[in-house]
Structure 1
Amino acid sequence: MTTFWLLAAALIAAATACLLWPLLRRRAPSATATPERALLVDLYHDQLRELDRDLRAGTLGAARHAEARDELGRRLLDEAAGSSSAPAGAGASPLLAALLLALLPSAAILLYLHLGNPVALWRADDLPAASGSEHQLSGAQVEGMVNQLAQRLRDAPGDAQGWAMLARSYSVLERHADAAAAYARAVELAPDVAALRADYADVLASLNGGALDGAPMAQVRQALVLDPDDPKALALAASAAAQRGDKQAAIGYWEHLHRLLPADSQTAARIAANLAAARGTDAAAPAPKITGMVTLGEKAGRTPQPGDTLFVYALPTDGSRMPLAVLRRQARDLPLSFTLDDAMAMRPEHRLSGQQQVMLEARISVSGSALPKAGDLVGRTGPVAVGTEGIRIAIDDAIAP
């Protein structure tokens, strides 16, 4: 987190300098500028630099740093007004520059604390790397930040975004009862936000031992009424259906969610696995599939890195590049035994079972992109009949620039 605040301070300083330079440049030294005012400005800049040094050293928190800058700005305006004997227009630019210097950084920090998620920042950067007393210190700091937000919301209870942020912070700290109360307040203030209701349902389920029936499911249903494509609500609805044994409903929700996700995302892979497991328990005839082996041919031209991404596709014979099924692995898995079936479809209406024949392709991508790029290693075969087993694909070519 220290690195984040140092970078933020540097960016704020650069932006402030760009704004202040025209104001300071426009006012050249003149006879109307008194020595007292020049001394005040120099003293103010020295104190600002000392505050910035304390922030970088970690002896002064970001919130306290912002308050101190505001106080310095107000003090400079008061003292400059009392000590100035120059005409009103002569000192306008430096005073405005000082006011901007005091207010802009403070406004930026307060805006981040209000709209951002500083708790997640602490957990991401500080907590995993800490140990012993350092870990305890970071935890105490996180608690302090959350408590400050709770206090602010007691003074301004109508801030729906603030309550949502507080609820998410409590969830990170695993204070589920507090998170549920905060989400209840946020939903009361913003009843038409589907994502809030889905998050609220998740916390209620945590309090209910993971069970989604009852109050959690009521929130899920309302979320889906507000937004039928809300990802979290769809996932929770699918889980609830699976819990009560309604396999077909769970499959429907998972299929809907899978269509909304990027094809090469880890979440899409997990949903595909859920679909495969749900369909695998069906007593109906097994879905059509294609099995085989992918190897690296001698004509590939180069040896891929172990971490390069390996895709295995089934494509329509009409030349369309929308895969009917896709499997994602790594080059280190070669030679790879593969199985392609309907569980790996990107769209429920675009599956292997709807085709008589398909083209097969295996591709190794350095970038990991789902789209072919120059330099990717590739192997193709087909057309082959859906249901064929033991197909061999040799990766022995490269995509030309």
Structure 2
Amino acid sequence: MTLFWIVTVILVLIAGAIFVIPMYKGKEQDDVASRDELNKAFFKDRISELEEENSEGLVVNQDELVSELQQSLLDDVPMQAKQQAVGISPLMVLPSLILLVGICYGMYLSVGSLTKVEAWQETVSRLPDLSKRLMDDQNAEPLSDQEMDDLTLALRTRLHDTPNDATGWLLLGRIGMANRDAETSQGAMLRAYKLDPGNPEIKVGYAQTLMLVGDPNQGDFARQILRSVVQRDPSDVRALSLLAFDAFERNEYQQAVSYWTMMKNVIGENDSRTNMLTRSIERAQARIDKVSTLDVSGGSVTDKVSTVDVPADSVMVNVMLDPTVLLPAQGFLILSVHSADGAPMPIAARRMPLSSQFPITVTLDDKDSMIPERKMSSLSEMIVKARIDSDGNVMTKQGDWYGQSDVLSLGTSTIVTINKQYQ
């Protein structure tokens, strides 16, 4: 802001100089020269008239008249020296200068959004502190929504000035994931990946955003990136975790077991995450032997669901199909958990090959979380959506059938009936 005010002062001084200097200096006037030029013009005109009159025979003694004109011209030659016009008094200029300065700064203060500019500059100055708090996993006071917005603004400002800062783009991508903004997250991570494709942190972050989109082609590329990270550093827990979650979501339970086992070997038996990994391995192993489904024959679906014990950190979803729904020849069933306010970005999701066996019962928990740092169990209330995806791309919805539950609490069950179609 200091530079800005210096520039404004310079501009106002230039404007004042343009306004004052001509007034103070005044305009030079030469009355003597003007009178002399007028006499000469009059003399020449009178000579021309005498010549015309002489040619017409009206003049008797032309030479005498010419002599008289010459004598009159000599008698009227000015003898005074050239004079300079007097400049304007400074007391007359001062009010004009005050008015000029007042108008300039008054207009800026009224329409220049000075308070917003100052708030923006103050936000930019807080970038190091906000970034440190965001990256500090031990921080007891997480960033508020307003602070996240401030951090995004400050970071975008810095990236505008230094567009080749790969770390800055990585941080912006992580903020996008935290805000459930898939477009911002993917764009920022892609920019970081192009700037520094060999950075493991950037590769893992970019792969994670690609997995959030759900496009099979991008998912394959994401897995390729993560495998390259693990190949270079088999102890990269984040890459192993993402590969395990992805394999479990794709029903590749044996691969999930392998990745989780590798993670256990890396972190050791004394790590607090060991118990969670053990449960994940047991769950995947159970899925290998048998995929649990709910048999609704012999009773109403509501009664069956309500009698099933649901773990406190999960939700059980029974997906039913309306008779009017026409299933595509191939596709996927996508279940997603959203916050109770209906935010479009899911907190947890699972995609499974489409089956003609409906209804289907699925239990969703933290293993299905989209981002390990934001688990499904962090929601006390949520909404579950089910969609039949015909082309394997979660970004396209036209023509897909879907259904949505009411708001439910963690540790309960619900029924989602697919009976609507995106137009």
Give the TM-score, by structure 1 length: 0.37
Give the TM-score, by structure 2 length: 0.35
Larger radius of gyration: 2
